[in-house]
Amino acid sequence: MGRIDYQVKINGFRIEMQEIEEELLKYSKVKEAIVVDKKDDSGNKYLCAYVVSKEKVSQKEIKEFLKKELPSYMIPSHIMQLESMPVNSNGKVDRKALPSPNVSDLNYEYIAPKNNIEEKISKVWSKILGIKNISTDLNFFEIGGNSLKAISVVSRLTKEFSISINDIFKYPTIQELAFNINLKKEVSKLKVRIAKEEVSATVFREENKTPKAIKSAYGLYMNDTQKYINKKVNDEINYKNILLTGSTGYVGINILKELLINTNSKVYLLLRGKDIREAEDRVIKKADFYFGKRFYFEYKNRINILIGNISEDYLGMDTNSYKKLSLIIDCIINSAANVKHYGKYEDFYNINVLGTKHLLDFAEKGLRKDFNQISTISVGSGKVPNKEFVMFSELDIDIGQECDNVYVRSKLEAEKLVEEAGKKSLNTKIFRLGNVTFNYETGLFQENITENAFYKNIKAFIKLKCVPEIKENIFDFSYVDQLAKAIILIFNKTNYRNRVFHIENPKKLNAMDLMQALRRKYKDIELKNMDDFLSYISVKSEDEKLREYVDDVMVHLGLLENNNTTTFVTVSDRTNAILKEFGFEWSKLDESALKRMLDYCEKVNFL
């Protein structure tokens, strides 16, 4: 219970309070240290540290000290100095008695805005963070800011400035941000144009909308697909020992289920944690939540828990254990990832890129291991120089695309590492996933539902009572249970080595379909053309109760990103043809499935 009490999840990151406390105590002036999680007025969690010292300590200096050893998400937003820690009748620190930080008094020398742009940014920051007179040299994320608040900041600034969410992470002080953003001209017209471009995911099968180059490329792709499909679909490897990473994630736990049900393999789960018992407790808790209390124990004899970290050398294990494991494992499925879309690139690099490199190195050691990388179809996005349209298929990895999204960039880098390893010696497969949604059979969705951008967007449509008219089929419902089944159908097949697969539901919805589906339960939702929709949400953005929903819609439609992009026409026909050979077919979002989805959302008070 003690371990559970002092481990929290903030902004998608699992944080051990004790690790931060240990680093604080290494600072020479700090004699006692306690770290707790608190909530701000908007209900967002943040970390607050309390320190006892005989002399006055600087919050800024302590944060700089912590940054040498801890990632940014583990740096407390506030550090309060106390004369002594409050204790209860048992002589232990009374955490409930610790005072709340006064965010208006940060004990920093105040540097006032020196120009009009800094003044505008300062006003927005003050409103979002609830702090008056913010010094222009303060870091947004060190005074209570997070990715959700960054979205709100950009949503307000985008009316006058060309700015994206990642700009807040690149330039986290008012001074830096003001120097690196520019005023917009003809703001309203630009917003409408951007919206139309961003949501116009060209459907290349519509002859009148398809560039000739795309039609030609698609024709060659389909001809080659017919030759590619191998009728020997049952040629497969029966792996004895599979290493699975990311098994406590939403996709990872579903892959674990499919492995246990549809193979005879032993599955080794590499997890971070203080000890095996604590790590196993996390897996049990996840399995209980998604599959019921009996599931884990039914298959426990085939599950092996390992403590490690893919971001570290030797996977965070001692060299002897690493060597022994390398002689046992014959297959790796890498489902571990930092899947947030905003933040500092180094946080994504450590897990998504460096972690993949360490696993590929491990695949070469001892017994040579087949390697399966879980990736995202979003790697086919961004800007290809001098290209307005490109087709992106399972044959493509790096086609010169440049993307500001740090998550997408890191996943593309990881794919290139896997591709290179496949060219040299390993048998590899890359599974790019579409938009992961609920379990089709149960309606159940990921435990941290409030962190999912797609679900937040659906909620926003419901709360705003409006859906923008987009004719193209862009709403992807790739059900997590069917997605995991598709991966496990292919991962052990010998005829598809060193290939890429697009695991996404081709039965997408357009805005009219989605509106009609939602209207069965929420009668007052209407469809508006894009011009009217943008005007409508602009008015609604002035209502503080609806503001967060406007922000969510703007994020999903790409209105808060840099929009100098290429239109990617993503195709998945080859993968779907292969899956059809196995008798697999994606389900359509019918009325009963949507009801299961929405009923679950209401059950957990999401809606």
DSSP letters along 328-381, please?
T--EEEE------SSS-HHHHIIIIIIHHHHHHHHHHSSS--EEEEEEEGGGS-
pLDDT greater than 50 at residue 193? no
For residue 486, pLDDT over 60 is answered with yes
Among 160-164, 297-301, 348-352, which stretch is predicted with the lowest mean pLDDT? 160-164
Running DSSP on this structure, what letter comes out for residue 314? G
Give the pLDDT confidence score for residue 317 in this predicted structure.
96
Tokens of 357: 């490199």
pLDDT (tens digit per residue) in 567-577 = 898 999 999 99
Q: What pLDDT shows up at residue 541?
A: 77
Residue 209 pLDDT > 60:
no
Question: Is residue 356's pLDDT more than 50?
Answer: yes
Q: Find tokens 């010696």 and name the residue.
A: 425
CA atoms within 13 A on the CB side of 520: 15
State residue 558's pLDDT score. 67
Binned at pLDDT 50, 70 and 90, residue 559 comes out as low
Residue type at 433? L
What distance in Å separates the CA atoms of residue 62 and residue 77, rounded to the nearest whole number? 12
Distances 494 to 253, 268, 491 between C-alpha atoms, Å: 24, 22, 9
Q: What is the 3-state secondary structure (H, E, C) of 563-594?
A: CCCCEEEECCHHHHHHHHHCCCCCCCCCHHHH
- Kindly state the greatest CA–CA separation across the chain: 78
Per-residue pLDDT at 4 exceeds 50: no
The top-scoring range by mean pLDDT among 101-110, 178-187, 251-260, 502-511 is 251-260
pLDDT at position 234:
67
Sign of the alpha-carbon dihedral angle for 228, 232, 233, 238 = negative
Cα three-residue angle 323-329-335, rounded to 5 degrees: 110
- Range scoring the smallest mean pLDDT among 212-216, 217-221, 302-306, 495-499: 212-216
- Quote the pLDDT of residue 564: 60
- The more confident residue out of 56 and 255 is 255
C-alpha 71/C-alpha 59 separation (Å) is 17
Q: Which CATH number fits domain 116-185: 3.10.105.10, 2.60.40.10, 1.10.1200.10, 3.30.750.210?
A: 1.10.1200.10
Question: 10 Å Cβ neighbour count for 585?
Answer: 13
Top pLDDT among 454 and 257 is at: 257
Confidence (pLDDT) at 433: 98
Q: Looking at domain 214-603, does it have CATH number 3.40.50.720?
A: yes
Cα distance between residue 418 and residue 600, in whole Å:
37
**pTM for the full predicted model:** 0.79
User: 213 or 187: whose pLDDT is higher?
Assistant: 213
Stretch among 120-129, 208-217, 249-258 having the lowest mean pLDDT: 208-217
Model pLDDT, residue 471: 75
Q: What pLDDT score does 138 carry?
A: 85
Mean pLDDT of 585-592: 92
At 240, give phi and psi (nearest 5°).
-85, -45
Write phi, then psi, for 219 (nearest 5 degrees): -60, -45
DSSP state of 532: H
Residues 6+ apart with CB under 8 A from 125: 131, 134, 140, 145, 153, 174
Neighbours of 348 (CB within 10 A): 26
Taking only the tens place, the pLDDT of each residue in 399-450 is 999 988 889 999 999 999 999 999 998 999 999 999 999 999 999 999 989 8
CATH of 2-97, one of 3.30.300.30, 3.40.50.2300, 3.30.750.24, 3.40.30.10: 3.30.300.30
CATH 1.10.1200.10 domain residues, the chain: 116-185
CATH 3.30.300.30 positions along the chain are 2-97
**Beta strands, E only, 474-545:** 478-479, 499-503, 526-528
